[in-house]
Amino acid sequence: MSSYQVINEVSLREKAVAFTFDDGPNPIYTPQVLEIFQEVQGKATFFMIGTQIEKSLETAKAVHEQGHEIGNHTYSHPHLPELSSEEVRREMQLTEELIQQVTGAKPKVYRPPYIDTSEEVAAITAGEFGYPAIGAVNGAATDWEMPGVAHIVEKTRDQIRPGSILLFHDGFDDRSQTVEAVRILAVELTAAGYRLVTVSELLALSAAEA
C-alpha cells in the first residue's frame, strides 16, 4: 500500500454506501440533491470547491444544516501534483477555513481534483492536514460528461456493494442527468436495505467491524 493510496471503497459487512458530490455547492442542483436525500432519509458527502463556497455560501450552509458532510475539494480545482508545495498548502488551507466557517469544524476528508495525487501531495494533504484521500468505484459512470441518465445509473449499479463510495457532481454545467440518476439509485438502494451514509461514517463503520 502506497502512502498516497486513494480510498475507493472499504471492507464492510453492513449494507451501507456513501454517495459523494463534487464541485459544488451549486444554487440550482445542490438543493435538488438535498431534497432526494431528505426523501430517503439518507446522508451524503459534498466535496466542495472553495471558490464555489464563496459564491454560494447559503447553499453550503443548507448542506451542513441538513446533516450532510462537507469535504475539502481544494480552492480552485487544480491538478495538485503540478503545483508547488506552498500552492498545495494554500489550496487546502483556504478551503479548510471556508468549511470551518460553515460547519464550525475542520473537515475530515478530501478528494483530490481529478483523483490526481502523488507522494509529495500526500505528504501535505495526509501528513500535514490529516486528510484521507477519497476516490470512488463508479468512475465509469462519467456523470460529468452528461452521458445520459441510463448510463450513469447502469455504470453505478455495476459497482454497488457494501462499502462502495460513489462519485457524482452537483457543480458546474447542467447536472440534471446526475440528479435524476441519483434519485433512481437512492430510492433503489434504500428499498434494497442499504443505508446511505457520509464518507466519514462509512470509514468508521469499517473500522468498527475490523
Residues classed as catalytic: 22, 169
**Cell (9 digits) for 185:** 439509485
Amino acid at 23: D
Amino acid at 37: F
Residues ≥6 apart with Cβ < 8 Å to 42: 19, 186, 190, 195, 196, 197
Point out which residues pair with 71 in neighbouring strands: 47
- 3-6: list long-range contacts, CB under 8 Å, 24+ apart: 3/119, 3/122, 3/123, 3/126, 4/117, 4/118, 4/119, 4/121, 4/122, 4/126, 4/133, 5/133, 6/112, 6/115, 6/117, 6/133, 6/134, 6/135
